Amino acid sequence: MQYDVILPAAGSGKRMGAGKNKLFLELLNKPILAHTLTVFQDDQACRAIYLAIKSSEKTEIEELLARYSISKVVAMPVGGDERQYSVNACVKQIRAADVVLVHDAARPFIQQETIHKLMQKAATHGAAIAGVRAKDTMKRVSNGIIEGTVNREDLWMIQTPQAFNFELLRRAQQQAEKDGFLGTDESMLVERLGEVVCMVESDYENVKITTKEDLLFGEAILNRRRG
């Protein structure tokens, strides 16, 4: 079976403080965006890539696609002010699909095994998201005062990819747009329709490159994987 992937890449990466889109920063001499694209380019189960971009970065991204031989990008819509809107811009480009994955372009260390687990789960259950178990003790805090300790057993830290039956994702995005609802991930949009979303255990290496420390961590991961 095959899937299509939506990669939102239209952020500004303010928390990185690089003065440009963090996705152009390099890990072992290759831009973060190119690392992420390569994962899907190399995965035979991936049929097409929908990439949300900033209009001002179109030329730079086209050059990057050519340089790293990325041929699966079929549409590059201009993203929105919020990540959800960037994803929606891609959803609107898709005519027909079975399973669609949404994956942050800023998570270049995603493993194929996780992608395929998500694809299978979404094909049978409609929706499945990647995440890891919370490692630390979790507390609810109000105005700097501890209110209580939350049972960690039930808590997961959510990542991308998030995989969906395409019609479900489209319906969830359309409803959110109609209601003016802004969520922090696609799962929230599906959850509010009352639909089931499955949890797939991923790994702690699937980090979102957000701050400078993540670049050091990222290079260490790549060096180890290259042996």
User: Among the candidate windows 76-84, 146-154, 166-174, 192-200, which touches ligand C5P by CB under 6 A?
Assistant: 76-84
The answer to whether 103 contacts ligand C5P (rule: CB under 6 A) is: no
Single residue of 4, 5, 11, 90 touching ligand C5P by CB under 6 A: 11
Q: Please, which residue, 80 or 183, has the CB nearer to ligand C5P?
A: 80
Largest CA distance in the chain: 53
Single residue of 46, 49, 52, 190 touching ligand C5P by CB under 6 A: 52
CB of 79 to ligand C5P, least distance (A): 4
Going by C-alpha positions, the residue among 32, 27, 44 that lies closest to residue 7 is 32
CB atoms within 10 A of CB 140: 10
The answer to whether 105 contacts ligand C5P (rule: CB under 6 A) is: yes
Distance CA 158, CA 196 (A): 16
User: Among the candidate windows 69-77, 104-112, 143-151, 174-182, which touches ligand C5P by CB under 6 A?
Assistant: 104-112
Report which DSSP code applies to 39: H
Let me know the angle formed at the C-alpha of 124 by 122 and 128, rounded to the nearest 5 degrees.
Answer: 25
The answer to whether 80 contacts ligand C5P (rule: CB under 6 A) is: yes
- Burial code (b: 16+ CB inside 10 Å, e: under 16) for 155-187 equals eeeebbbbbbbbebbbbbbeebeeeeeebebbb
Single residue of 158, 208, 217, 222 touching ligand C5P by CB under 6 A: 208
Contact 165, 98 (CB under 8 A): yes
The answer to whether 82 contacts ligand C5P (rule: CB under 6 A) is: yes
How many angstroms separate the Cα of 161 from the Cα of each of 111, 130, 153, 164, 180? 10, 6, 22, 10, 24
User: Among the candidate windows 65-73, 81-89, 136-144, 199-207, which touches ligand C5P by CB under 6 A?
Assistant: 81-89
Per-residue contact track with ligand C5P, 165 to 204, x per CB under 6 A? ----------------------------------------
Binding site for ligand C5P (CB under 6 A): 8-11, 23, 52, 79-83, 86, 104-106, 208, 210
